[in-house]
Amino acid sequence: MELGLAGRRALVTGAGKGIGRGTVQALHAAGARVVAVSRTQADLDSLVRECPGIDPVCVDLSDWEATERALGNVGPVDLLVNNAAVALLQPFLEVTKEAFDRSFEVNLRAVLQVSQIVARGLIARGAPGAIVNISSQASQRAITNHSIYCSTKGALDMLTKVMALELGPHKIRVNAVNPTVVMTPMGRTNWLDPQKAKTMLDRIPLGKFADT
């Protein structure tokens, strides 16, 4: 299927592993020019070997100033995939300030910041574009020990709606994708326990989690 991505420039956050890495690989295969953003240099090095020609950027998106330095002059971007996220799981009564702050910095604030950078560039060029935010079914369902993660993804869904409303007049489409558990390294870490997994698998008609 022709996706019309050849020659387009795409930026993917959380590109080192899991969904983000798979997204970079698919975009590269479709002929897009990809900016791959990850906080882990080793992951970017191996990704460059797999996908020659991509533009790697190593930055921790929880750091606002570092992100601005790394991406403020990234150049024209036609497609943004906000995929970077952390899942710091704690019982509600044991949630720490550190886990709360980092989760919202990466899962929500970084989406706002990177989207602003890309959207301002599109508007300045008078070009249409697309932003895809990788959310989660955790935005819709309460999950034990996921109070922070569920909250960040619920907030991301509403941010996506407001972004779509405000950026639509500029011909910038904004959508969220809300997958179930995906067996990425992060997914495997959090869902290998059969008893815990069963509560989620029982809600899935196919009876299995997604894979990358």
- Side chain identity, residue 138: A
201 with 103, same domain? Answer: no
Asked whether residue 91 is domain-assigned, the answer is yes
Asked whether residue 4 is domain-assigned, the answer is no
106 with 205, same domain? Answer: no
What's the structural domain count of the chain? Answer: 2
195 with 175, same domain? Answer: no
193 with 161, same domain? Answer: no
Which pairing describes strands 129-134 and 33-38: parallel, antiparallel, or unpaired?
unpaired
> Burial, 6: exposed, middle or buried (Cβ in 10 Å; 0-12, 13-18, 19+)?
exposed
Q: Tens of pLDDT along 47-64?
A: 999 999 999 999 999 999
75 with 153, same domain? Answer: yes
Instruction: Give pTM, 2 decimals.
Output: 0.89
Number of H helices, E strands in the chain: 8, 6
140 with 96, same domain? Answer: yes
More confident residue, 206 or 131: 131
More confident residue, 10 or 206: 10
Distances (CA, A) of 109 to 72, 155, 189, 198: 16, 10, 24, 32
Q: Is the pLDDT of residue 136 over 50?
A: yes
169 with 192, same domain? Answer: no
Asked whether residue 2 is domain-assigned, the answer is no
Query: Helices 97-104 and 147-167: crossing angle, nearest 10°?
Result: 30
103 with 158, same domain? Answer: yes
For the annotated catalytic residues, the residue numbers are 149
Q: Which CATH number does the domain housing residue 164 bear?
A: 3.40.50.720
Q: Tens of pLDDT along 168-192?
A: 999 999 999 998 777 677 676 666 6
17 with 72, same domain? Answer: yes
CA distance 11 to 29: 15
- Side chain identity, residue 202: D
CB 67 within 8 A of CB 83: no
The sign one gets for the Cα dihedral 208, 206, 211, 183 is negative
Asked whether residue 54 is domain-assigned, the answer is yes
The residue segments making up the domain with residue 202 are: 184-211
204 with 101, same domain? Answer: no
113 with 193, same domain? Answer: no
Asked whether residue 1 is domain-assigned, the answer is no
